[in-house]
Amino acid sequence: MSRYTAFAWLLAFGIVFQLSHGVEVNVTDKEDMLCLYANLNVSFSVSYEVAGDRNKTIEFTLPNEVTTDGSKCDTTSSTLKLNFGTGHSWSVNFVMNGKVYQADSITFSYNLSDSTHFPESLSNETVSVTMKPQITNVGVDTCYSCKSKDMIQADLVNMTLSDVLIQAFVSNGSKSENITSCSADQPTTPAPPTTPATSTATAAPVTNFTSTAPPPTTTPTPTLPTPTTGKYSIKSDNSTFCLLANFGLRIGIKQGEKYQEMNLEPNMTKVSGSCGVNSSELQLVSNTMTIMFTFTNNTTKFQLHALNFTAKTTSGVEFSEVNTNLSLWEAAIGSSYMCNKEQNYTITNVLTLYTFNLQVQPFGVTKDVFSTAEECQADAESFLVPIAVGVALLVLILIVLLAYFIGRKRNMATGYESF
Ligand SMILES: *[C@@H]1O[C@H](CO)[C@@H](O)[C@H](O)[C@H]1NC(C)=O
Ligand SMILES: *[C@@H]1O[C@H](CO)[C@@H](O)[C@H](O)[C@H]1NC(C)=O
Ligand SMILES: *[C@@H]1O[C@H](CO)[C@@H](O)[C@H](O)[C@H]1NC(C)=O
Ligand SMILES: *[C@@H]1O[C@H](CO)[C@@H](O)[C@H](O)[C@H]1NC(C)=O
Ligand SMILES: *[C@@H]1O[C@H](CO)[C@@H](O)[C@H](O)[C@H]1NC(C)=O
Ligand SMILES: *[C@@H]1O[C@H](CO)[C@@H](O)[C@H](O)[C@H]1NC(C)=O
Ligand SMILES: *[C@@H]1O[C@H](CO)[C@@H](O)[C@H](O)[C@H]1NC(C)=O
Ligand SMILES: *[C@@H]1O[C@H](CO)[C@@H](O)[C@H](O)[C@H]1NC(C)=O
Ligand SMILES: *[C@@H]1O[C@H](CO)[C@@H](O)[C@H](O)[C@H]1NC(C)=O
Ligand SMILES: *[C@@H]1O[C@H](CO)[C@@H](O)[C@H](O)[C@H]1NC(C)=O
Ligand SMILES: *[C@@H]1O[C@H](CO)[C@@H](O)[C@H](O)[C@H]1NC(C)=O
Ligand SMILES: *[C@@H]1O[C@H](CO)[C@@H](O)[C@H](O)[C@H]1NC(C)=O
């Protein structure tokens, strides 16, 4: 019994060890020279239909036993195809684009009649899904390296790449020592490239690349919950409130083809700022972002005039955007600005602000509470609908009453009894 356990452990460890090592393949061309190299881990999560109108989701990793039949190398395009199990395959298309190459698409085909991978599957078909990977701008004669996990999602399939080392368009039959790292692997601070020779990214900023690249894929971002409404305030020297701001905040940022959204968590946010005669500031600092709102007073009105946003994205890259020429959230001095409906504001072409249950008063706060609110257009419109409905109902009731009384009068006039 214990011997079997030990054996099972060894087996499990053996598999784990092999998995973390990655699947390594060499593709050779007609002259038997290396033309495509890959060493990577891929894990799949596949959802498929089973009896009773249900879906089952299973997970597995790319096994070590793969064949490369169907792979091919040409001068400007090449394909890596890894076949495994009974009729499953995973393939990537690479295209050369001047001084860089990229992975255009990843196609994953899976044979649902394989009952070891897909038990109880209703369908027995082979399904193919094609996805767009984020492997772009890889310098020619360099390996693409990405140790970080990269999840690619489709309707029924999620796949996660990790510890990826790939070189397409290998020249002279030997793998390059030079590496183009993915952005997720890059150090968090945009430090000057003082990295050792082996990791000098040669993916030069190729200006024409973008124009020839396919349109950015809008990767479906998981929808975030509505952000919690935070209540922020600043006190003046004499310890009365001089700035009040309530809102739920979501930030959308675009980095290349990636779009990412994050919510500001009020209970993890530090508030600071200052009130002036002509300008007031509110700074919110959370573990993920720093936002500075600058409000100005132009004698009769105030407005949000500048916004300075800094964050670290999930891939660890520093992100900073400033716009000092805004005219948002405008209201008369002595009142507050309010907008309960969700609003979005384009701050810069890569930064979008979403607000929920917004009310701000950066000047002239008295008695520590908001003054009369000036409401945004969207709120005003949503008020009109119930008013219109109310008025219509009232008119209807009047008509009915009128009809009733007229009817009664007539009945009385003709002498009928009426109840
Ligand atoms: C799919 O799997 C079934 C059962 O494992 C096998 O008989 C069939 O040949 C496979 N299909 C392909 C295209 O390999
Ligand atoms: C696949 O299933 C259909 C019916 O669901 C059946 O007619 C067909 O023979 C099956 N094909 C294979 C290769 O098992
Ligand atoms: C893919 O990932 C998303 C987000 O993590 C999840 O909601 C979805 O169920 C996953 N799909 C599959 C097939 O695993
Ligand atoms: C790769 O690195 C070596 C040494 O740093 C350098 O001489 C060579 O030019 C590099 N090759 C490419 C394609 O950048
Ligand atoms: C970019 O493309 C235009 C025309 O498509 C060409 O005139 C220009 O020289 C190219 N620039 C570079 C840096 O390749
Ligand atoms: C506190 O200072 C503000 C101006 O900064 C002034 O309007 C207000 O009257 C002061 N309140 C008290 C209690 O002194
Ligand atoms: C912050 O608020 C969220 C819900 O809004 C809650 O789940 C979380 O526990 C809170 N964290 C702290 C530190 O209070
Ligand atoms: C707004 O600015 C005007 C002129 O600069 C000033 O007179 C007024 O007191 C300011 N209002 C507040 C609330 O600070
Ligand atoms: C506020 O602006 C007015 C006119 O724009 C100027 O006269 C005044 O000195 C400014 N006050 C402060 C405190 O900067
Ligand atoms: C924006 O904020 C960052 C960090 O807080 C700061 O370094 C930068 O100078 C600010 N930019 C402007 C234009 O205020
Ligand atoms: C600020 O915005 C206004 C209108 O929105 C525009 O006319 C002006 O050119 C902008 N100024 C700068 C410096 O961007
Ligand atoms: C932004 O708001 C406008 C209306 O104000 C709306 O039509 C649009 O769909 C919103 N965009 C997003 C991304 O929410």
pLDDT at 5: 46
Mutate to test the pocket of ligand 1, among 112, 113, 127 (most ligand atoms within 8 A of CB): 113
Q: Are strands 289-297 and 318-323 parallel, antiparallel or unpaired?
A: unpaired
Q: Are residues 250 and 326 in the same domain?
A: yes
Residues 270 and 398 in one domain: no
- Report whether residue 322 contacts ligand 10, using a CB cutoff of 6 Å: yes
161, 103 Cβ separation under 8 angstroms: no
- Euclidean distance between CA atoms 408 and 402, whole angstroms: 10
Kindly state whether residues 157 and 19 are assigned to the same domain: yes
Same domain as 368, residue 289: yes
- Whether 217 is in a domain gets the answer no
DSSP output for 320-356: EEEE----EEEEETTSEEEE-S-EEEEEETTEEEEEE
C-beta of residue 221 within 8 angstroms of C-beta of residue 214: no
369 shares its domain with 401: no
The residue contributing the CA closest to ligand 3 atom 5 is 222
Q: How many of the other CB atoms lie within 10 Å of CB of 183?
A: 17
27 CB-contact burial (10 Å; exposed 0-12 / middle 13-18 / buried 19+): buried
pLDDT for the residue numbered 236: 86
**Ligand 1 pocket, mutate which of 83, 111, 124 (most atoms under 8 A from CB):** 111
DSSP string, 223-245: PPPPPPPEEEEEE-TTSSEEEEE
Determine the distance separating the centroid of ligand 9 and the alpha carbon of 241, expressed in angstroms.
21
Same structural domain, 174 and 239: no
Confirm whether 32 is domain-assigned: yes
Determine which residue's CA is closest to atom 9 belonging to ligand 10. Answer: 308
CA 365 to centroid of ligand 9, rounded, Å: 19
* pLDDT at residue 319, as a whole number: 84
Query: Distance (Å, rounded) from C-alpha 3 to C-alpha 10?
Result: 11
Q: How many CA atoms lie within 13 A of 415 on its CB side?
A: 0
Query: In the prediction, which pLDDT does 323 show?
Result: 94
Phi first, then psi: what are they for 73, rounded to 5°? -120, 125
d(CA 36, CA 40): 13
Are residues 253 and 361 both part of a single domain? Answer: yes
What pLDDT does 384 receive? 66
Residue 78 CB-density burial (10 A; 0-12 exposed, 13-18 middle, 19+ buried):
buried
In a domain, 194, yes or no: no
Ligand with an atom nearest the CA of residue 356: 12
Tokens of 176: 């390059």
Ligand 4 atom at shortest distance from the alpha carbon of 202: 14
> Do 15 and 140 share a domain, yes or no?
yes
Q: Give domain status of residue 170, yes or no.
A: yes
β-bridge mates for residue 42, sequence order? 161
- Helix (H) or strand (E) holding 384, with range, is helix 377-414
Structure tokens at 341: 């409906």
Instruction: With respect to residue 119, please indicate whether it lies within any of the assigned structural domains.
Output: yes
CA of 317 to the centre of ligand 2 (A): 50
CB contact set of 157 (below 8 Å; sequence gap of 6+): 44, 45, 46, 47, 108, 110, 129, 131
Which ligand 6 atom sits nearest the alpha carbon of residue 275? 5
Position in ligand 2 atom list of the atom nearest CA 122: 5
pTM for this structure? 0.47
Q: Which atom of ligand 3 is nearest to the CA of 45?
A: 14
366 and 418 share one domain: no
User: What pLDDT was estimated at residue 383?
Assistant: 65
Nearest ligand (C-alpha, residue 320): 10
Whether 138 and 235 map to the same domain: the answer is no
User: Rounded CA gap, 89 and 68, in Å?
Assistant: 9
Asked if residue 266 belongs to a domain, the reply is: yes
C-alpha 372/C-alpha 351 separation (Å) is 31
Q: Which atom in ligand 10 lies closest to the alpha carbon of residue 290? A: 5
Look at the chain and report how many structural domains it folds into. Answer: 3
Residues 281 and 370 in one domain: yes
Q: Does any ligand 10 atom lie closer than 6 A to the CB of residue 308?
A: yes
**Domain at 104, CATH number:** 2.40.160.110
| Domain that residue 355 falls in | 230-381
Is 374 a member of any domain? yes
Same structural domain for residues 298 and 338? yes
| 419 residues of the chain, pLDDT tens digit each | 445 444 444 333 333 333 347 899 999 988 899 999 999 999 999 999 988 888 999 999 999 999 999 999 999 999 999 999 999 999 999 999 888 999 999 999 999 999 999 999 999 999 998 888 889 889 999 999 998 889 998 888 999 999 999 999 999 889 998 888 888 887 654 433 333 433 333 343 333 333 333 334 444 445 788 999 999 999 987 788 999 999 999 999 887 778 888 999 998 899 999 999 999 999 999 988 999 999 999 999 999 999 999 987 666 667 889 999 999 999 999 999 999 999 999 999 999 999 999 999 999 999 889 999 999 888 777 666 667 778 888 888 888 888 888 888 887 776 655 45
